[in-house]
Chain A
Amino acid sequence: MTTPTFPTSMDRRQFLKRMGLLGGGLVVYFTVGDPSALARTPREGYLGSRIPTDFNAFLRIGADERVTLLTGKIEMGQGVITSLPQMLADELDVAYGAVDIVMGDTDLCPWDAGTFGSLSTRHFGVFLREAAAEAKGVLRELAAARLKVPGDRLATENGAVFDSSNPVKRITYGALTNGNIIERHLDKVPDLENRSGFTVMGGSCLRRDALDKVTGAARFAGDIRLPGMLYAKILRAPAHGAKLKRVDTAPAEQVDGVRVVRDGDFIAVLHAYPDVAEKALRKIDAEFDLPKTGIDDQTIFDHLLENAPAPTINSEGGSIETGRKRAGRTISHTYFNSYVAHAPMEPHAATAQMKDGRMTVWASTQTPFPLKDQVAAALNMPPEKIRVVTPFVGGGFGGKSASMQGIEAARLAKITGRPVQVGWSREEEFFFDAFRPAAVVKIDAGLDDSGRITFYDHNVYFAGQRGSEQYYDFPHHREAAHGSWRGPSTDVHPFAVGPWRAPGANTNVYARELHINLLAAEAGADPLAFRLDHLTDKRMIGVLKAAAEQFGWTPAPPPSGRGFGIACGIDAGTYVATMAEVAVDKPHGTVQVKRVVAAQDMGFVVNPDGAKMQMEGCITMGLGYALTEEIRFSDGKIHDKNFDTYRLPRFSWLPRIETVLVENPDLSSQGGGEPAIVTMGGAIATAIHDAVGAAVFQLPMTPERVKAAMGEG
């Protein structure tokens, strides 16, 4: 037998200890001859290189026949708490109801880069299924010995291995493991279950978190209660870039039960009640030097263009100059989008406790493993002394990829020696949101006399390339990005920006799809037919036709007065086409979205109803960035501090929503959390144009901007 190997960055002692934490020694513990050979899908790059190769890191089989799925992914509403167990159940051949799941706990779960990029199913899911297939292979070997049946006669179902020629001869997985630590060598890499063997995947399971969430049993990071815990409120600067000049904390310290912690400019007020801490914080007398940047939400676009880095060409074909020469007419426009907040309903929260030399942080985070490393660095503690536990996360959308509140809670717990909870106020949440970046897209394109596009030149500033990749068949095209959505290395943005549900793609797709419609209008063509005329990609044609059929699309060149919009795009490997119907109140410029139809090809669908929930969520959330959401700011101050001025989509906005899943089961599962949102800006912009003949070149398309566009039209 070869030397056992262990999950990356974990030695045998740690590994067994982790197994112990999972409920005693009742663990299947196998080793394999050559683990790297068994890790069929390469563990590459940032996302993959630290993912364990040992399948025990992903699942545990208890003697009680229950299977525990271990994942570094977190549940923030996207539904993988349901779909990942579906995947494991099918691959391991156990009942869906026999699978428990532990998520986002850095002591118990395999390393994970974070829950973002619609990667849980299409990336982590592959490793999970491979782990299950390998575990099943080992269970079959054990069963062959125990049942004295040749391995090729054995089959598995419902958590048991049985003799296919004599099915009463069977043994359960729990009985095979029987509380022992067993080391086994697998000679052959078992195949993944093929689709015909799926009984759980492809079916719609109810959300398994629903019951906890309707009864109040679901715990979020701010719901953790520990004996002796203090709630901390932290002194914040009134503007990004402000420097603390003078501070007097004495008035806060006079409040009964208050403790003030100061570590440089980091000043926190702690109390057994958060509301008392908050009141005491307001008593602190602080003066700040305020920056005068001259940058605000009006001047930001000039500022960005003036500071734009050189372009990176991400895709190109033919020659723009050749295409330009062939164009009889050209259309050039510049598109803008403002900073947009994530605004999850749950503000960032974390609870931290230092105990027996180890720091545990319960955090509202999309990235528990990176947070573990950040806490270790901030506290100057070794990472193995840090544990991050992720309870339910109350919405993320990319905004909880950075988890400063977790570091703050840990610092305060270490300093005070008491458990500490940090819960941001809504104002703090808006201030530190790490917005979707303001961005500019310039598109230049031309038509020949037959109404075909001869060239298409796309330059995006500060949104990055995602969503700009070309899938139309343009003979001459170029897609260039000036800076990424993270911004360039210099601080061009006046505050932090970050990933916002399909980073960059919303901006790029809005600009491209509105531009395509304006080209269709110029050509006098129906915008659906115009798109299809410029497409050979079968998946894109498929989703457009599916959307058109559901919508009942009839051809007419824009503006037809009907208020019908259309947009399509690719995100996270998934194709989506969206059609919208709007009514524009011309005197006021207000837009009511009456109906949205979205068709999506996402490959094999693990949980169709769950996938549709994500599409509906994308459509509804997308109304906001399309119509109202933008951050007002000046000189580093964020003027939107709550939902009174920052308007989220509400019930009265609700259009009739219809979603279509275009069947493509032979393609592996693609992303589901983000794709359907990327078309919302474009679908509504083209619908407004179709309604009133006005193109709105800036997101969000507020009544003022719609009216202004109509005035120019």
Chain B
Amino acid sequence: MTDPIHFTLNGRSVRFEGDGERTLLWVLRTDFGLTGPKYGCGEGACGACTVLVDGEPLLSCQTTVKAAAGGDIVTIEGLAEDGVLHPLQEAFVETGGLQCGFCTPGMILKAAGLLRANPDPSRQEIIDGLENNLCRCGAHARIVEAVQIAARKGGGR
């Protein structure tokens, strides 16, 4: 049996006992019951599995749970603080920056990472930053608008 792996998950210290080579995506979705990170492609080609690790967006389908050891992991379920929505979440609701909602958790977390690195991005910087997150419903225009609104409201805090 391998040593337990410790990390912070949505603000809580947790430990994982099992095969550290398993992907973070499926450990989150099964062992921890957090279904916000989605399986969309399994190859890091769509962004639906994006989570934040130490504030950086990471493709959880391309990461082993071992590699995330010691990290501060935030999934979409943990983005709101004390029941208060993150400005990105608010802005996605306000603008209708989603349709089917399947890409939404990854989209918001990717944008959260962007705003953290660049609290005042240009429209082009938002487009460049989200380029590898796919949305099939075609909500792109409103997603860009939502990120712009969130930036203005201090979403990169």
Mark A residues whose CB is within 8 Å of B: 76-79, 206-207, 209-220, 222-223, 225, 231, 272-276, 343-347, 392-397, 423, 425-426, 609-610, 613, 616-621, 642-644, 648-652, 654, 657
- In the complex, which residues of chain A have a beta carbon less than 8 angstroms from the beta carbon of B93? 206-207, 210-211, 214
In this assembly, does B135 line the interface, its C-beta being within 8 Å of a C-beta of chain A? yes
In this assembly, does B153 line the interface, its C-beta being within 8 Å of a C-beta of chain A? no
Given contacts A206-B93, A210-B96, A211-B93, contact A345 B127 (CB under 8 A): no
Closest B residue by C-beta to A274 = B26
Given contacts A77-B99, A215-B76, A394-B101, contact A616 B135 (CB under 8 A): no
Given contacts A648-B134, A652-B128, contact A206 B141 (CB under 8 A): no
A215, A393, A425, A650, most chain B CB atoms within 10 A? A215
Ordered by A's residue number, 26 sampled pairs between the chains whose C-beta atoms are within 8 Å are A77-B99, A77-B101, A207-B98, A210-B96, A212-B101, A214-B89, A214-B104, A215-B85, A225-B35, A273-B22, A274-B30, A344-B100, A345-B48, A345-B102, A346-B38, A347-B39, A392-B100, A394-B102, A423-B39, A426-B41, A618-B138, A620-B139, A642-B45, A649-B140, A651-B127, A651-B133
- In the complex, which residues of chain A have a beta carbon less than 8 angstroms from the beta carbon of B3? none
- In the complex, which residues of chain A have a beta carbon less than 8 angstroms from the beta carbon of B6? none
Per-residue A-contact encoding for B93-110, CB less than 8 Å = 1, 0 else? 110101111111100100
- In the complex, which residues of chain A have a beta carbon less than 8 angstroms from the beta carbon of B36? 216
Q: What is the number of contacts between chain A and chain B, taking CB atoms within 8 Å?
A: 169
Given contacts A613-B142, A654-B140, contact A347 B40 (CB under 8 A): yes
Closest A residue by C-beta to B18 = A273
Determine whether the beta carbon of A76 is less than 8 Å from that of B127. Answer: no
Write the nearest CB–CB distance from A598 to chain B, whole angstroms.
12
Closest A residue by C-beta to B138 = A620
In this assembly, does B70 line the interface, its C-beta being within 8 Å of a C-beta of chain A? no
How many angstroms between the C-alpha atoms of A397 and B99 in the bound complex? 12
How many angstroms between the C-alpha atoms of A654 and B142 in the bound complex? 11
Determine whether the beta carbon of A215 is less than 8 Å from that of B89. Answer: yes
- In the complex, which residues of chain B have a beta carbon less than 8 angstroms from the beta carbon of A219? 35
Contact of B102 among A211, A231, A344 (CB under 8 A): A344
Interface of B is mostly: loop
Determine whether the beta carbon of A616 is less than 8 Å from that of B101. Answer: no
Closest A residue by C-beta to B41 = A426
Determine whether the beta carbon of B140 is less than 8 Å from that of A651. Answer: yes
How many angstroms between the C-alpha atoms of A669 and B47 in the bound complex? 37
Given contacts A79-B99, A345-B136, contact A644 B45 (CB under 8 A): yes
- In the complex, which residues of chain A have a beta carbon less than 8 angstroms from the beta carbon of B69? none
Given contacts A613-B139, A616-B138, contact A209 B101 (CB under 8 A): yes
In this assembly, does B82 line the interface, its C-beta being within 8 Å of a C-beta of chain A? no
Determine whether the beta carbon of B103 is less than 8 Å from that of A617. Answer: no
Determine whether the beta carbon of A644 is less than 8 Å from that of B43. Answer: yes
Write the nearest CB–CB distance from A502 to chain B, whole angstroms.
14
Per-residue A-contact encoding for B8-52, CB less than 8 Å = 1, 0 else? 000000000000001100100010011110111111011010000
Closest B residue by C-beta to A643 = B45
Closest A residue by C-beta to B30 = A273
Determine whether the beta carbon of B130 is less than 8 Å from that of A651. Answer: yes
Write the nearest CB–CB distance from B119 to chain A, whole angstroms.
19
- In the complex, which residues of chain A have a beta carbon less than 8 angstroms from the beta carbon of B34? 216
- In the complex, which residues of chain B have a beta carbon less than 8 angstroms from the beta carbon of A644? 43, 45
Closest B residue by C-beta to A657 = B141
- In the complex, which residues of chain B have a beta carbon less than 8 angstroms from the beta carbon of A397? 136
Other A-B pairs beyond A220-B35, A395-B99, A426-B43, 16, CB < 8 Å: A76-B100, A77-B137, A213-B92, A214-B93, A214-B104, A216-B35, A222-B35, A343-B136, A344-B102, A345-B40, A394-B100, A394-B102, A613-B99, A620-B139, A654-B141, A654-B144
Determine whether the beta carbon of B39 is less than 8 Å from that of A621. Answer: no
Contact of A654 among B48, B89, B127 (CB under 8 A): B127
How many angstroms between the C-alpha atoms of A469 and B75 in the bound complex? 49
Write the nearest CB–CB distance from A162 to chain B, whole angstroms.
35
Given contacts A214-B92, A425-B42, contact A619 B100 (CB under 8 A): no
Determine whether the beta carbon of A213 is less than 8 Å from that of B98. Answer: yes
How many angstroms between the C-alpha atoms of A210 and B26 in the bound complex? 25
Determine whether the beta carbon of B136 is less than 8 Å from that of A621. Answer: yes
Contact of B85 among A214, A425, A642, A657 (CB under 8 A): A214
How many angstroms between the C-alpha atoms of A423 and B39 in the bound complex? 9
In this assembly, does B54 line the interface, its C-beta being within 8 Å of a C-beta of chain A? no
Determine whether the beta carbon of B141 is less than 8 Å from that of A346. Answer: no
How many angstroms between the C-alpha atoms of A344 and B127 in the bound complex? 21
How many angstroms between the C-alpha atoms of A121 and B39 in the bound complex? 31
Determine whether the beta carbon of B43 is less than 8 Å from that of A642. Answer: yes
Determine whether the beta carbon of A648 is less than 8 Å from that of B136. Answer: yes
Given contacts A616-B138, A620-B141, A654-B140, contact A345 B33 (CB under 8 A): no
Write the nearest CB–CB distance from B37 to chain A, whole angstroms.
8
Determine whether the beta carbon of B134 is less than 8 Å from that of A616. Answer: no
Given contacts A76-B100, A77-B101, A613-B142, contact A210 B35 (CB under 8 A): no
Closest B residue by C-beta to A364 = B102
Write the nearest CB–CB distance from A351 to chain B, whole angstroms.
12
Given contacts A395-B136, A648-B136, A651-B131, contact A216 B105 (CB under 8 A): yes
In this assembly, does B80 line the interface, its C-beta being within 8 Å of a C-beta of chain A? yes
Per-residue A-contact encoding for B112-125, CB less than 8 Å = 1, 0 else? 00000000000000
Determine whether the beta carbon of B138 is less than 8 Å from that of A621. Answer: yes
B22, B39, B103, B142, most chain A CB atoms within 10 A? B39
- In the complex, which residues of chain A have a beta carbon less than 8 angstroms from the beta carbon of B139? 613, 616-617, 620
Contact of A395 among B127, B133, B137 (CB under 8 A): B137
- In the complex, which residues of chain A have a beta carbon less than 8 angstroms from the beta carbon of B104? 213-214
Determine whether the beta carbon of A643 is less than 8 Å from that of B140. Answer: no
Contact of A650 among B26, B99, B100, B131 (CB under 8 A): B131
How many angstroms between the C-alpha atoms of A344 and B39 in the bound complex? 12
- In the complex, which residues of chain B have a beta carbon less than 8 angstroms from the beta carbon of A396? 100
How many angstroms between the C-alpha atoms of A346 and B105 in the bound complex? 13
Determine whether the beta carbon of A345 is less than 8 Å from that of B142. Answer: no
Closest B residue by C-beta to A650 = B131
Closest B residue by C-beta to A209 = B101
Closest A residue by C-beta to B61 = A275
Determine whether the beta carbon of A344 is less than 8 Å from that of B136. Answer: yes
- In the complex, which residues of chain A have a beta carbon less than 8 angstroms from the beta carbon of B77? 215-217
Contact of A616 among B22, B30, B42, B141 (CB under 8 A): B141
- In the complex, which residues of chain A have a beta carbon less than 8 angstroms from the beta carbon of B108? 214
Determine whether the beta carbon of A643 is less than 8 Å from that of B100. Answer: no
Write the nearest CB–CB distance from B46 to chain A, whole angstroms.
6
Contact of A273 among B26, B46, B48, B101 (CB under 8 A): B26
A272, A345, A397, A621, most chain B CB atoms within 10 A? A345
Determine whether the beta carbon of A609 is less than 8 Å from that of B96. Answer: yes
